[in-house]
């Protein structure tokens, strides 16, 4: 499971990449871990109550906490919220996923998965994955509000590159196409769910630390 990612770009650049205003977001770039705030891109309608506006709302770049508060029965002994949405048919997720207002784009420049042991130090290696075709990419996300505004990463089966390191799932990396981004943010679930596929191994870059 992805436990760390990086967004090595300041807020204005992230905003320009995803066609939205950064709204003076203070993000300067760096790593993001569980229970930390990071920028996400929404379709622009967080006030869900009431009738939907007739006019198309502009995208919004907003800070949200990585880790959705789990159900009470699943919250025991958790040091953080739910970081990834794996079972997309779960009642905990499906209502939000079917309503496009609750989907978001999570900007990244790389995500980390644990690799094998370093023979010198005996510690597990960090394997960082980036995209050769997009220095800042969007991962499909879903948001929920409880005590704090929070989000989770949507995952899919791992591609060949991640399976080699023992991973079973990976974040859903969206294509570098504004139309794909718009489909995830505004499209019906039938079209949005078609984007939930592994990113091509040939388009990933890897760095081991």
**pTM summary value:** 0.91
Is residue 188 included in any domain, yes or no? Answer: yes
Indicate the burial class of 113 (C-beta count within 10 angstroms; 0-12, 13-18, 19 or more).
buried
Is residue 51 included in any domain, yes or no? Answer: no
Q: Tell me the C-alpha distance between 46 and 83, whole Å.
A: 20
Task: Please work out, in degrees rounded to the nearest 5, the angle formed at the alpha carbon of residue 197 by the alpha carbons of 34 and 134.
Answer: 70
> How confident is the model at residue 49, as a pLDDT?
45
For the chain, the domain total comes to 1
Is residue 189 included in any domain, yes or no? Answer: yes
Q: Say whether pLDDT at 146 is over 90.
A: no
Is residue 144 included in any domain, yes or no? Answer: yes
3-state SS, one letter per residue, for 75-133: CCCCCCCECEECCCCCHHHHHHHHCHHHEEEEEECEEEEEEEECCCCCCEEEEEEEECC
- Which residues lie across from 30 on neighbouring strands? 7
Work out the average pLDDT over 66-85. Answer: 79
> How confident is the model at residue 51, as a pLDDT?
52
Residues 62 and 149 sit within 8 Å (Cβ to Cβ): yes
Q: Say whether pLDDT at 25 is over 60.
A: yes
User: Is 121 or 188 the better-scoring residue by pLDDT?
Assistant: 188
Model confidence at 124, in pLDDT bands (50, 70, 90)? confident
Domain boundaries, position 203:
4-46+56-208
Question: Which residue, chain included where needed, has tokens 């139309």?
Answer: 179
CATH number of the structural domain spanning residue 199: 3.90.1680.10
Indicate the burial class of 58 (C-beta count within 10 angstroms; 0-12, 13-18, 19 or more).
exposed
Model pLDDT for residues 154-203, shown as the tens digit of each residue: 999 999 999 988 899 999 999 999 999 999 999 999 999 999 999 999 99
Question: Which residue, chain included where needed, has tokens 């939000």?
Answer: 96
Model confidence at 23, in pLDDT bands (50, 70, 90)? confident
What is the longest distance spanned by two Cα atoms in the chain? 61
Q: Say whether pLDDT at 103 is over 80.
A: yes
Q: Say whether pLDDT at 90 is over 50.
A: yes
């Amino acid at each position: 499971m992805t436990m760390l990612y990086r967004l090595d770009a300041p807020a204005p650049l992230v905003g320009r990449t995803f066609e939205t205003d950064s709204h003076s977001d203070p993000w300067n770039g760096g790593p993001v871990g569980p229970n930390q705030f990071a920028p996400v891109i929404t379709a622009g309608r967080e006030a869900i109550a009431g009738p939907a506006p007739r006019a198309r709302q502009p995208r919004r770049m907003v800070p949200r906490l990585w880790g959705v508060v789990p159900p009470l029965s699943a919250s025991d002994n958790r040091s953080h919220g739910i970081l990834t949405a794996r079972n997309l048919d779960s009642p905990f997720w499906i209502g939000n996923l079917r309503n496009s207002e609750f989907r978001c784009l999570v900007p990244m420049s790389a995500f980390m998965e644990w690799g094998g042991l370093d023979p010198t130090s005996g510690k597990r290696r960090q394997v960082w994955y980036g995209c050769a075709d997009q220095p800042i990419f969007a991962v499909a996300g879903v948001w929920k509000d409880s005590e704090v505004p929070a989000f989770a990463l949507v995952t899919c089966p791992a591609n060949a590159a991640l399976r080699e390191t023992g991973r079973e799932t990976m974040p859903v990396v969206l294509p570098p196409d504004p139309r794909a981004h718009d489909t995830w943010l505004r499209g019906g679930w039938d079209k949005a769910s078609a984007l939930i596929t592994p990113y091509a191994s040939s388009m990933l870059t890897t760095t081991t630390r």
